[in-house]
Amino acid sequence: MYYKQYGDTDMKVSAIGMGCMRYDDADVKAGNFEKCAEVTLYAHEKGINYFDTAPFYCDDKSEIITGIALSQLPRDSYYVSSKTNMGTVGGKATEGDYRKRLETTLTRLKVDYLDFYHLWCVLSLDSFSKQCDALYGFFEKAKADGLIRNIVFSSHMQGNELEDAVNSDLFKGMLIGYNALNYRFRQTGIEAAYKKGMGVVVMNPLGGGLIPSNPDTFRYLAEGTDLTVPQAALNFVASHKEITITLAGCTTKAHIDDACKAVENLAERPASEIYKEYENKGVALNNLCTGCAYCKHCPKDIDIPKFMDAYNEKLLGNNLHDRLKYHWQIPASMAAECISCGKCETLCTQHLPIIERLAEIAG
Ligand code: SF4
Ligand code: SF4
């Protein structure tokens, strides 16, 4: 395993972290938690020492499963992270409610403290400042009481907004969605965080499954290597000097092996160098939907991720209408129900022109 320094701390973390949100669905439903935990233990055996979980992942069982695994390991042999935000506790939550939520997380994970606690899923600068106002005091108190070691945030904001969040100087690190599809959106953010000595953890390195499911389009990532396309996509992210940890969502031990292979011969380079190389190859894939589903709050109940997935097919040279008809089995005419309220575009993590695309689909 390749290890990196987490920002300006003395923590040595594995270049691949385990995203604990992909435990086997059937096993989770059947209550086979010990079996799921074996994957986490295997990851640790392979040198992975960073485990990222949250309430609600895997039918709200991820923290419990991860705790079963971590309780079998020496506490100083791993780092564990979880998350909270104003939506996690709900209603008009008090500081006491957030504290209770944190204590539940600690109990489930069977630990006395979290190494990283995230202000979770900040979608805009406005939400960033509101959530900081409401919750930062709670985070600081939890840190002073020894329940958390590092205060970090997770976000889908784009680069310049991320830069503003970084410049608040409130956080030790950040977790962002970053991959070979959307890298240019987040460039300034990761560079600013690196300069500040913050750790940068990346989620969604495979673009919501879009990269593995379109191996021909993304073959360029693996050119000149012995890596598969998904491994090369992980390597693409992990090789950024500015990025500390690349999270791989692993369901099986084979997924762990795949992820470890991706960083076997890692060569770290600055983002600017990587971008130049990719842009020389004529790669311009920032306009694809990653299927993150953050836009799923449409007042007209339009299933936007499915429509945008179909639009991806068009951009990748395939048939948009076939995708809608045979794969998703939804009529293209539904796209005409859009009232252009703009809600989805505000939420879209890829900043896609959803309204324009729906109009095109509706014809
Ligand atoms: S702009 Fe259209 S698709 Fe987007 S949320 Fe509003 S009605 Fe739904
Ligand atoms: S349209 Fe945007 S927010 Fe919705 S799934 Fe795609 S990338 Fe995510």
Return the number of other C-beta atoms located less than 10 Å from residue 229's C-beta.
20
Crossing angle of helices 62-70 and 95-109, in 10° steps, is: 50
Nearest-CA residue for atom 3 of ligand 1:
338
CA of 89 to the centre of ligand 1 (A): 27
308 close to ligand 2 (CB < 6 Angstrom): yes
The helix (run of H) or strand (run of E) holding residue 275 is helix 271-280
Full-prediction pTM beyond 0.85?
no
295 close to ligand 2 (CB < 6 Angstrom): yes
What stretches in the chain show pLDDT beneath 70? 91, 184-185, 279-286
At residue 314, the pLDDT reads 86
CA of 341 to the centre of ligand 2 (A): 16
SS3 of 66-132: the string is: HHHHHCCCCHHHCEEEEEECHHHHCCCCCHHHHHHHHHHHHHHHCCCCEEEEEEEEECCHHHHHHHH
SS3 of 184-228: the string is: HHHHHHHHHHHHHCCEEEEECCCHHHCCCCCCCCCHHHHCCCCCC
343 close to ligand 1 (CB < 6 Angstrom): yes
At residue 309, the pLDDT reads 85
Separation of alpha carbons 349 and 8, rounded Å: 28
CA of 343 to the centre of ligand 1 (A): 6
CA of 122 to the centre of ligand 1 (A): 21
At residue 103, the pLDDT reads 97
Nearest-CA residue for atom 7 of ligand 1:
338
CA of 138 to the centre of ligand 2 (A): 31
At residue 213, the pLDDT reads 81
At residue 280, the pLDDT reads 67
Give Cβ neighbours of residue 314 (< 8 Å, ≥ 6 apart).
Answer: 320
Separation of alpha carbons 183 and 284, rounded Å: 10
- 3-state percent breakdown (helix, strand, coil) of the chain, nearest 5: 50, 15, 35
18 close to ligand 2 (CB < 6 Angstrom): no
Separation of alpha carbons 324 and 321, rounded Å: 5
354 close to ligand 1 (CB < 6 Angstrom): yes
Dump pLDDT digits (tens) for 6-35.
999 999 999 999 999 999 999 999 999 999
